[in-house]
Chains A and B, each alone.
Chain A
Amino acid sequence: MSPLINFFLYALIAMCFICLYRVIKGPTIADRMVGIDILGILVVGITAIIAMKTNRMFILDIGIAWIILSFIGTLTLAKYLGRNKLNE
């Protein structure tokens, strides 16, 4: 069971590098924001796998906090991007 978990962990880390490629290379600013958003969701999966591997429960707290911070960050950047029309 353990080598399969290690394989899952390495696969998720490789996907994080794909997201970082999109953040660095992205033609527009919206592409970079999409990359950051997807990276935040992938990290939650990584924390779940690490918590399953090491049997420690506090690592999932990092995942929950990361979800909330990624949500607030993406909403703030979207507000900044569409500031011409979203003037409530």
Chain B
Amino acid sequence: MSETISLILISIGILFDLLGCLGLLRFPDVYNRLQSATKCVTLGTWCILLGVFVRFGFTEIGLKALISIPLLFLASTVAAHSLARAAYHYGFPMWKKSVADDYRQQVQKEEKIATNIEKHAGS
């Protein structure tokens, strides 16, 4: 019974991994690629590790798979966020058919605040 559940979980994980890698291959833009690949591949690997845990239970392999899950979540999401922010600040262009860019207003507001602070500090 546990073997069947674990095989189903690993199959779902492989499917999510495949969709994420297709997004990495086919999307036109670095931001689209980052968004598709990071979310899908993280969820897929989470499902694989959960399947290994269900298969082995509370033994050594199962507990190591269980420990890897929160580590993977924290590490991959923080890395993807910092990578997207660095790419935006470096100035890589968006896809030419993109329709929304809400982060630009925030960046302009922060720059205006920074210039105001410098002006008051100089006077």
Residue positions of A touching B, CB distance < 8 A: 1, 4, 8, 11-12, 15, 18-19, 21-22, 28, 30-31, 33-35, 37-38, 41-42, 44-45, 48-49, 51-52, 55, 57, 60-61, 63-64, 67-68, 70-71, 74-75, 77-79, 81-82, 84-86
Contacts and interface: CB of A to CB of B under 8 A. Distances in A.
A61 B56 CA distance: 16
Given A35-B24, A48-B49, A70-B79, A15 B55 contact: no
Interface of B: 3, 7, 10-11, 13-14, 17-18, 20-22, 24-25, 30, 33-34, 37-38, 41-42, 44-45, 48-49, 52, 55-56, 60-61, 64-65, 67-68, 71-72, 75-76, 78-80, 82-83, 85-87, 89-90, 92
Secondary structure type dominating chain B contacts: helix
Contacts of A68: 71, 75
B111 to A, nearest CB: 10
A78 B82 contact: yes
B83 to A, nearest CB: 5
Contacts of B92: 28, 30
A85 B89 CA distance: 7
Contacts of B86: 30, 78-79, 81-82, 86
A44 B45 contact: yes
B21 A15 contact: yes
Residue with the greatest number of chain A CB neighbours at <10 A, chosen from B22, B25, B87: B87
Contacts of A49: 10, 48, 52
A82 B64 contact: no
B35 to A, nearest CB: 10
A43 B67 CA distance: 16
A38 B22 CA distance: 12
A67 B83 CA distance: 16
A48 B24 contact: no
Residue with the greatest number of chain B CB neighbours at <10 A, chosen from A12, A33, A48: A48
A83 to B, nearest CB: 9
